[in-house]
């Protein structure tokens, strides 16, 4: 339902859905509108002001994104994380706007195209009650439920994350520091049930905004089948998996070969719809440099087995890995590996740019070996060169191919 009108000398539009409320404000002569979206509990979810988009995570962190150049030039996309005081001010502004608008509706000062239904009023009441203390309580509750959520694929940012495991089962990749200092462990059935119930209760009415279930953490599907089946059965006990869009998870190629086609068929029966495989590169020498366990052949075989089990895949390629020294081999062999996977319309390919930082093991190794870093433009050109030479059959269709910027991840 969309309701339009006038309020406070501004055009206003209210989009009311069962799982979210969005308010858009446009003042005459202003180049940009203000847009605020809230979940079913009243939490601020996204905002847009003065050409800057904001996305707030359940953990209270907010990332701001904008284009530093003409629209469409993705290479010029900029971002930064708001400081706590800035994030709190954005939350205050959104809450105050909603509270004042609600009061204007009650007093008849807002002229709407039709009356706001009771569920819309309830939304606004919840938003108005979500003050700074309530936001802080919510963030504290989040940290009682979750260990740090390292990373998710972009299409899973709105998932219900359930941490069946914590940490990474190998944790050796030099380009990744998401799980450093954290011991890998698998939750018991009882512990996982308690965690899943806590996650459900924490999300509350905001659960309806979540689109899927993501089984974390890194490489969660490495869990042996008997224990994994138990954990997935618990998931079904607590959540309506089908209504939420199924279960998704990471699995590295070298671990994937340890599961059979029959295992993947069983996972399909239990609601697993897509498995994300970090190929990174099709070049074996580069994988050794990255300390990524396994070989490209392992990832290819894993994808083929996953497909045979009736599950889609998301394959992740690391652009810029190995710098100039490996650039040619990286592109050539990654094309070969991706083409060998027989990807189809239900699959995804993500091009993720290497993000270097001080203290990252890869950065140190690349400097010592004088690999020569690629510029952002050169990294994007690698992705374009790979995509140009991918072959897909007419029968299976082509997978969706897009960028994966880990600097924009928020949960």
- Along the chain (411 residues), what's the average pLDDT of each consecutive run of 10 residues? 91 93 88 91 95 95 86 68 96 96 92 92 94 96 95 95 92 86 92 98 93 93 96 98 96 82 98 97 96 93 96 97 96 98 97 90 90 93 97 94 92 93
**pTM: predicted TM-score of the whole model, two decimal places:** 0.93
- 384 phi/psi in degrees, rounded to 5: -65, -40
* Chain centre to alpha carbon of residue 295: 26
pLDDT of residue 72: 55
Question: Around Cβ 357, how many Cβ atoms within 10 Å?
Answer: 8
For tokens 């994007």, what's the residue? 380
Half-sphere exposure of 203 (CA within 13 A, CB side): 22
Q: What are the tokens at 408? A: 């924009």
Q: Are 315 and 338 in contact (CB under 8 A)?
A: yes
Using DSSP bridges, classify how beta strands 34-39 and 20-27 pair: parallel, antiparallel or unpaired. Answer: antiparallel
User: DSSP 3-state assignment of 32?
Assistant: coil
- C-alpha angle 132/67/410, rounded to 5°? 40
| CA-derived radius of gyration, the chain | 23
pLDDT of residue 71: 59
Domains of the chain plus CATH, in order, are: 2-133 (no CATH), 146-408 (3.20.20.70)
Q: Which residues of 122-147 are buried (b: 16+ CB within 10 A; e: fewer)?
A: ebbebbbebeeebbeebeeebeebbe
CA distance 352 to 52: 23
pLDDT of residue 73: 47
Q: How many residues does the chain have?
A: 411
The sign of the dihedral angle between the CA atoms of 82, 88, 89, 95 is positive
- 171 phi/psi in degrees, rounded to 5: 55, 40
* Chain centre to alpha carbon of residue 211: 11
CA distance 25 to 9: 10
Half-sphere exposure of 120 (CA within 13 A, CB side): 20
CA distance 75 to 249: 29
Q: Are 168 and 255 in contact (CB under 8 A)?
A: no
Burial of 375 (0-12, 13-18, 19+ CB in 10 A): exposed
CA distance 305 to 297: 12
Question: Around Cβ 159, how many Cβ atoms within 10 Å?
Answer: 22
């Amino acid at each position: 339902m969309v309701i339009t009108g006038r309020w406070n000398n501004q055009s206003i539009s209210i989009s009311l859905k069962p799982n979210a409320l969005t308010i858009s404000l446009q003042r005459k002569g202003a180049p940009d509108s203000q847009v605020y979206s809230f979940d079913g509990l009243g939490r601020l979810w996204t905002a847009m002001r003065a050409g800057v988009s904001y996305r707030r995570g359940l953990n209270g962190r907010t990332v701001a994104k904008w284009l530093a150049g003409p629209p469409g030039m993705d290479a010029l996309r900029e971002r930064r994380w708001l400081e706590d005081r800035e994030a709190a001010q954005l939350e205050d502004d959104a809450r105050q706007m909603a509270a004042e608008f609600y009061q204007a509706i009650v007093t008849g000062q807002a002229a709407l195209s039709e009356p706001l239904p009771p569920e819309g009023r309830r939304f606004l009441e919840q938003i108005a009650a979500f003050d700074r203390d309530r936001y802080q309580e919510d963030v504290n509750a989040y940290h009682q439920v979750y260990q740090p959520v390292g990373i998710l694929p972009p299409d899973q940012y709105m998932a219900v994350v359930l941490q069946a495991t914590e940490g990474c089962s190998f944790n050796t990749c030099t380009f990744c520091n998401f799980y450093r200092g954290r011991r890998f462990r698998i939750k018991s059935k009882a512990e996982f049930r308690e965690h899943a119930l806590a996650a459900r209760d924490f999300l509350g009415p905001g659960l309806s905004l979540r689109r899927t279930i993501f089984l974390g953490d890194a490489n969660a599907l490495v869990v042996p089948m008997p224990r994994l089946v138990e954990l997935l059965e618990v998931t079904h006990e607590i959540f309506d998996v089908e209504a939420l869009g199924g279960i998704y998870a990471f699995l590295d190629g070298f671990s994937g070969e340890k599961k059979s086609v029959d295992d993947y068929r069983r996972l399909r029966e239990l609601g697993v719809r897509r498995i994300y495989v970090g190929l990174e590169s099709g070049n074996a020498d580069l994988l050794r440099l990255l300390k990524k366990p396994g070989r490209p052949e392992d990832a290819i075989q894993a994808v083929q087995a996953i497909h045979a089990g009736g599950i889609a895949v998301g394959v992740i390629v690391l652009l810029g890995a190995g710098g100039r020294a490996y650039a040619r081999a990286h592109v050539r062999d990654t094309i070969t590996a991706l083409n060998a996977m027989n990807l189809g319309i239900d699959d995804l390919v993500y091009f993720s740019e290497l993000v270097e930082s001080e203290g990252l093991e890869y950065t140190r190794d690349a400097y010592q070996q004088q690999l020569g870093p690629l510029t952002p433009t050169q990294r994007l050109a690698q992705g374009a060169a790979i995509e140009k030479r991918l072959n897909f059959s007419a029968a299976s269709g082509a997978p969706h191919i897009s960028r994966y910027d880990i600097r924009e991840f928020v949960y």
